Structure 1
């Protein structure tokens, strides 16, 4: 008959000596403890870390222990999922034997892989951004290839814009024409225009200069003195 308690105590003593700085007992009944592991340094000395919590069940090691990720640093959700899947696989493969050291070793190797994957992900992201920059530069210098669909779309938009531009210009011309008043409209708008010349003469008074040369040839004109309307000095005749 298997003495489960004895096997569990022996494993605990071995684990404490193997991991003196990272092994912590949480409880004795049931036996529960944590082991912290850190990856080897990666690029820029970056590391990932996780602390696993194990709890013995009554019939361990014939039945697998309870396990969970107690804490973690620099791990993504996908990394946590991968570690839990790895623990499940290793527990099934080593059932019937004490397995904590085996499980911890497998997770330690997984952490080192994750550090390498982080480096690869960063390099892949860098290449992706460089490729996007190159594609953007090609579009800038070479333009976008013209297809039948893109040309027809551009042509339709262009015709709409030109139609709108013509409409605005016609509207501006119509407004400009309305603002131009004819002579008749000017008189209708400003009734003072018809008396403006008279006011000018009244204000000028005796200051109006007469060109006498215009009257020098008056003697050469053939005037009919018998004409009742003849009035050489412009005095007119008074009627009673």
Structure 2
């Protein structure tokens, strides 16, 4: 007759020695405990983790234990479903033998596969983005193919922009007074221009004022008698 209690006790001691840092007893009646399983680190240090809860039934190991995912990190819903399916499969294959170590090992391998799949998805995403960037660069380099339709659309838009540009420029020139006037237009706008020169001629230019202080009597000047021009200056003075 199988001593289920003894087999369960012996396995529990072995499990505790194998997983000293991740094994935790939750209760003794019924015997319930958790084991935390962590994947190996991926290329960028990413990991996934699952804490499995096992509970012995009275006739374990002839009947499978109960299990559940007690907690997890970085696992998706689909990943957890696959882990539960894996536990059921392994339990059915190992009925009649203590199986906790086998179940935990299978989950460990599964977590490593999940990390590898994450790595592959990341690489695929990287390649996809690189391909999209290359395609975008090709399109930018080749430019847009000119058709009659898009040329006519561009031409209509260009004509509107140029008309608006000319209108604004003309308005700015008018406001700034930059439009040039002809000589006739200047006289028409300022009638003083046609009388100022005539008035000057009628006055005979006699209205020009002279500052007589700028000139001195020739006799007051200190001249050098040895200067060859002295006689000339003296003669001029005598004639006056």
Q: State the TM-score bracket (shorter-chain normalisation).
A: 0.5 to 0.7
Q: Residue 157 of structure 2 aligns with which residue?
A: 160
Q: Residue 111 of structure 2 aligns with which residue?
A: 111
In structure 2, the gaps of 5 or more residues are: 209-240
Q: Residue 234 of structure 2 aligns with which residue?
A: none
The count of aligned residue pairs is: 200
Q: Distance in 2 between matches of 1:173 and 1:111?
A: 75
Q: CA RMSD in A?
A: 4.0
Deviation for aligned residue 1:197: 2.3
Q: Residue 25 of structure 1 aligns with which residue?
A: 25
Deviation for aligned residue 1:56: 2.0
Q: Distance in 1 between matches of 2:46 and 2:157?
A: 61
Deviation for aligned residue 1:24: 2.1
| TM-score, structure 2 normalization | 0.60
Q: Residue 52 of structure 1 aligns with which residue?
A: 51
Is the partner of 2:20 in helix, strand or coil? coil
Q: Distance in 2 between matches of 1:65 and 1:83?
A: 16
Deviation for aligned residue 1:104: 1.4
Q: Distance in 1 between matches of 2:196 and 2:20?
A: 118
Write the deviation string for residues 220-239 of structure 1: whole angstroms up to 9, x where unpaired.
xxxxxxxxxxxxxxxxxxxx
Write the deviation string for residues 2-58 of structure 1: whole angstroms up to 9, x where unpaired.
9876665444233223323432223334533221223345436x4624241415276
Q: Residue 226 of structure 1 aligns with which residue?
A: none
Q: Distance in 2 between matches of 1:131 and 1:154?
A: 30
Deviation for aligned residue 1:156: 0.9
Distance 1:200 1:173, change over 3 A: farther
Q: Distance in 2 between matches of 1:103 and 1:93?
A: 6
> Structure 1 runs of 4+ off > 4 angstroms?
1-8, 57-64, 95-99, 170-178, 180-185
| TM-score, structure 1 normalization | 0.60
- 2:42·2:115 contact (CA, 8 Å) conserved in 1? yes
